[in-house]
């Protein structure tokens, strides 16, 4: 031990102690699910541990060692990344970023076990047609929207297996109601598909056929707009979609993150008096927030150039992934990955560091909020510690993945986001 280290050891221990124990509002959060590792229930067969072949009554198994790419289920590789809530069902996605993922779009039931097995959605046969899905969304017309990136993202074995597509399911019947393949002009190069990690649906429940979807492309920095009525899509570029080099190198669980992720999340306000919405957005690697009126997204003859607003800066270590607007409190809620926190900002206030509140923080169970959503007056988060998976390793004996829920009013009470 060097003398310098000895001298600082007490300070270091104090810092470590406070960073491990310091939590804000975590007692106001309900733990919905937690998993040490992900397991599946496929056609009634439980896959609770690594399994070479999919089991079926008619197959014959050989006792040979398979290559990882041929294995049906490699449990450790299954990291949940996105989710959505609808009634008593919670959808959970597992993108194919490694080998051995049996199903990318799945669901579990609320009110059952706290570490439920995942079931393929809508059923095992349909789910097989999807390669990788990230952050699905339910719209106000009871439909589930997902982007199938079509990309097998295994390092050194990347392969575009299907064209990137928007797929919509009717949640009442659990039937696919349509699929739309993105156009070649929506995609810049072979990296684009891997960047299509979320979808935001813009629809008035009074006219469900006239829906728009906004897909972020964090890899090649664009926003892809889809019009359901026109059955058409187009790509929008803007400098605000790029990552901010000054916001690189924040750390999560002790790992320095140097991902250059651009536009990551698009959150919509309620309808304005003129029938459009404000679309709030930010790159992952940025501490700024931007907005544009959806009128400029929905009309492909219009340009957003000159119509983007820089709303302000949230402050140091506010790099965030998913964010959602809650109309009741007029706040945006952010999955703040750089501080293991949920941040809030009341959109009626100027965006500056003093007006951004920490609604919740926990250095164990909010380490990398991979997805965040608002359902009614509740905020839900999916936590997956993905930097640990990427840069070191997860301990399969501990709880690694969580879904939590909290009342928004409870979290923002006493913060700068509370309505006065
Ligand atoms: C799962 O498989 C691994 C490796 O084959 C083994 O070490 C472990 O004990 C198994 N766990 C369970 C719960 O069966
Ligand atoms: C957007 O930028 C990409 C390069 O990043 C370029 O290939 C593409 O043509 C641009 N598209 C539009 C609509 O400006
Ligand atoms: C981030 O790290 C890289 C590599 O160490 C360095 O070149 C760059 O200046 C750093 N940027 C910031 C904003 O810290
Ligand atoms: C729509 O209304 C909002 C405020 O209600 C305003 O900020 C926005 O500029 C309007 N958009 C257009 C295209 O007029
Ligand atoms: C949003 O909130 C306002 C009051 O702040 C209310 O008038 C409006 O009906 C709300 N919109 C929805 C869709 O709930």
Respond yes or no on whether the N-terminal peptide bond of residue 334 is cis (omega within 30° of 0). Answer: no
Contacts of residue 111, defined as CB under 8 A and 6 or more positions apart, other chains included, come to 88
Ligand 4 near 276 CB (within 6 A)? yes
Whole-number Å distance, alpha carbon 237 to ligand 2 midpoint, is: 6
CA-236 nearest atom, ligand 2: 13
HSE-CB for 384 with a 13 A CA cutoff = 24
Q: Contact at 8 Å (CB) between 257 and 249?
A: yes
Q: Whose CA is nearest to atom 9 of ligand 1?
A: 49
Q: Name the residue with the closest Cα to ligand 4, atom 13.
A: 295
pLDDT in tens, 190-228: 999 999 999 999 999 999 999 999 999 999 999 999 999
| CB-based contacts of 85-89 (< 8 A; 24+ apart in sequence) | 85/138, 85/373, 85/375, 85/380, 86/138, 86/142, 86/144, 86/171, 87/171
**For ligand 2, atom 7: residue with the closest CA:** 188
> What is the whole-number distance in angstroms between the Cα of residue 188 and the centre of ligand 2?
7
> Alpha-carbon distance 242 to 312, whole Å?
16
Residues in the chain: 420
CA of 78 to the centre of ligand 1 (A): 15
Cα(299) to ligand 4 centroid in Å equals: 14
CA 384 – ligand 3 centroid, Å? 25
Is the Cβ atom of 248 under 6 angstroms away from ligand 3? yes
Write the CB contacts of 365 (distance below 8 Å, at least 6 apart in sequence): 26, 31, 383, 402, 404
Q: Which ligand is nearest to the CA of 244?
A: 3
User: What residue has token string 């509002």?
Assistant: 25
Query: Relative to the CA of 275, which ligand 4 atom is closest?
Result: 1
* Ligand 2 binding pocket includes 188 (Cβ within 6 Å): yes
CA dihedral 56, 59, 60, 61 (to 10 degrees): -50
Ligand 3 in reach of 249 Cβ (< 6 A): yes
Task: Report d(CA 176, CA 143) in Å as an integer.
Answer: 9
Residue nearest to atom 1 of ligand 1 (CA): 49
Which protein residues are within 6 Å of ligand 5, measured from CB? 270, 327
Within 8 A by CB and 6+ apart from 337, the residues are 250, 252, 257, 284, 319, 320, 321, 368, 369
Cα 236 to ligand 2 centroid, rounded to whole Å: 8
Is beta strand 143-148 parallel, antiparallel or unpaired with respect to 151-152? Answer: unpaired
Please state the φ and ψ torsions of residue 246, each to the nearest 5 degrees: -70, -15
Q: For the purposes of burial, counting CB atoms within 10 Å of the CB of 176, is it exposed (0-12), middle (13-18) or buried (19 or more)?
A: middle
Residue with tokens 């590789």: 77
Return d(Cα 93, Cα 146) in angstroms, integer: 10
Q: Is 58 in the pocket of ligand 4 (CB under 6 A)?
A: no
Q: Which pLDDT tens digits describe the chain residue by residue (420 residues)?
A: 343 444 344 444 444 444 445 799 999 999 999 999 999 999 999 999 999 999 876 666 666 788 999 999 999 999 999 999 999 999 999 999 999 999 999 999 999 999 999 999 999 999 999 999 999 999 999 999 999 999 999 999 999 999 999 999 999 999 999 999 999 999 999 999 999 999 999 999 999 999 999 999 999 999 999 999 999 999 999 999 999 999 999 999 999 999 999 999 999 999 999 999 999 999 999 999 999 999 999 999 999 999 999 999 999 999 999 999 999 999 999 999 999 999 999 999 999 999 999 999 999 999 999 999 999 999 999 999 999 999 999 999 999 999 999 999 999 999 999 987
- Tell me the CA–centroid distance for residue 148 and ligand 2, in Å: 22
Closest CA to 104 of 79, 75, 67: 79
Q: Ligand 1: distance of its center to the CA of 48 in Å?
A: 9
Q: Whose CA is nearest to atom 1 of ligand 4?
A: 274
Distance from Cα 276 to the centre of ligand 4, integer Å: 7
Ligand 4 close to Cβ of residue 295 (< 6 A): yes
Ligand 4 proximity of 275 Cβ (cutoff 6 Å): no
- Contact (CB, 8 A) for 111 and 128: no
Distance CA 311, CA 325 (A): 15
């Amino acid at each position: 031990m060097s003398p310098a280290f000895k001298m600082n050891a007490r300070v270091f221990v104090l810092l470590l102690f406070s960073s491990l124990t310091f939590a804000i509002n975590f007692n106001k959060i309900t733990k919905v699910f937690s998993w040490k590792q992900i397991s599946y229930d496929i056609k009634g067969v439980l896959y609770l541990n690594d399994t070479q072949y999919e089991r079926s009554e008619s197959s014959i198994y050989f006792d040979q060692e398979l290559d990882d790419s041929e294995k049906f289920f490699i449990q450790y590789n299954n990291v949940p990344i996105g989710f959505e809530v609808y009634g008593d069902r919670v959808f959970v996605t597992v993108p194919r970023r490694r080998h051995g993922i049996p199903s990318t779009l799945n669901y579990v039931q609320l009110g059952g076990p706290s570490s439920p097995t995942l079931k393929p959605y809508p059923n095992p046969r349909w789910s097989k047609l999807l390669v990788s899905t990230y952050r699905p969304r339910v719209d106000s017309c009871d439909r589930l929207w997902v982007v199938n990136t079509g990309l097998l993202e295994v390092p050194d074995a990347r392969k575009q297996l299907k064209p990137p597509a928007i797929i919509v399911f009717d949640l009442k019947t659990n039937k696919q109601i349509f699929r739309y393949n993105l156009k070649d002009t929506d995609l810049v190069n072979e990296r684009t598909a891997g960047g299509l990690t979320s979808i935001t649906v813009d629809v008035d429940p009074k006219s469900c056929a006239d829906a728009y979807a906004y897909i972020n492309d964090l890899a090649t920095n664009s926003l892809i707009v889809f019009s359901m009525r026109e059955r058409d899509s187009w790509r929008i570029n803007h400098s605000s979609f790029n990552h901010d080099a000054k916001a690189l190198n924040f750390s999560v669980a002790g790992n320095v993150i140097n991902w250059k992720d651009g536009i990551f999340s698009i959150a919509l306000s309620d309808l304005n008096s003129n029938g459009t919405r404000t679309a709030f957005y930010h790159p992952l690697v940025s501490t700024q927030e931007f907005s544009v009126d959806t009128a400029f997204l929905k009309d492909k003859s219009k340009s957003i150039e000159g119509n983007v607003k820089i709303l302000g800066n949230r402050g140091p270590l506010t790099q965030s992934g998913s964010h959602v607007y809650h109309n009741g409190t007029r706040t945006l809620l952010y999955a703040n990955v750089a501080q293991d926190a949920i941040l809030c900002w009341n959109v009626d206030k100027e965006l500056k560091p003093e007006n951004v509140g920490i609604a919740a923080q926990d250095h164990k169970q909010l380490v990398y909020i991979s997805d965040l959503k608002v359902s009614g007056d509740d905020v839900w988060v999916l936590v997956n510690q993905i930097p640990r998976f990427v840069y070191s390793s997860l301990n399969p004996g501990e709880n690694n993945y969580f879904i939590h829920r909290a009342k928004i009013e409870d979290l923002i009470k006493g913060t700068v986001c509370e309505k006065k």
